[in-house]
């Protein structure tokens, strides 16, 4: 299981994405960022995605 915490990229937010692959995490983050942070899809840049990827961590739970 991979996990990513939204607050790890600087948002005041309790959202955690969970998935088996980086792609799953990224698509959850994209949906979350547009829905809950009012971001536009074009604001989810490759740079932001690589920041997210660098903060994804493995979890056994
Ligand atoms: Zn968030």
CA separation for the pair 58, 61 (Å, rounded) = 9
In this prediction, residues 6-19 reach a mean pLDDT of: 95
Distance 6 CA to ligand 1 centre (A): 5
Note the pLDDT tens digit of each residue in 23-58.
Answer: 999 999 999 999 999 999 999 999 999 999 999 999
pLDDT at 61: 65
pLDDT at 60: 80
Residue 16 pLDDT exceeds 80? yes
41 neighbors 34 (Cβ within 8 angstroms): yes
Domain ranges of the chain: 2-58
Environment class of residue 47 by beta-carbon count within 10 Å: exposed (0-12), middle (13-18) or buried (19+)?
exposed
Distance 34 CA to ligand 1 centre (A): 9
Distance 50 CA to ligand 1 centre (A): 16
Helices (H), 1-61: 22-36, 46-55
């Amino acid at each position: 299981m991979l996990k990513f915490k939204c607050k790890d990229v600087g948002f005041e937010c309790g959202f955690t994405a969970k998935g088996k692959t980086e792609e799953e995490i990224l698509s959850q983050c994209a949906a979350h960022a547009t829905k809950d942070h009012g971001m536009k899809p074009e604001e989810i840049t490759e740079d932001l995605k690589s920041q997210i990827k660098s903060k994804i961590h493995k979890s056994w739970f």
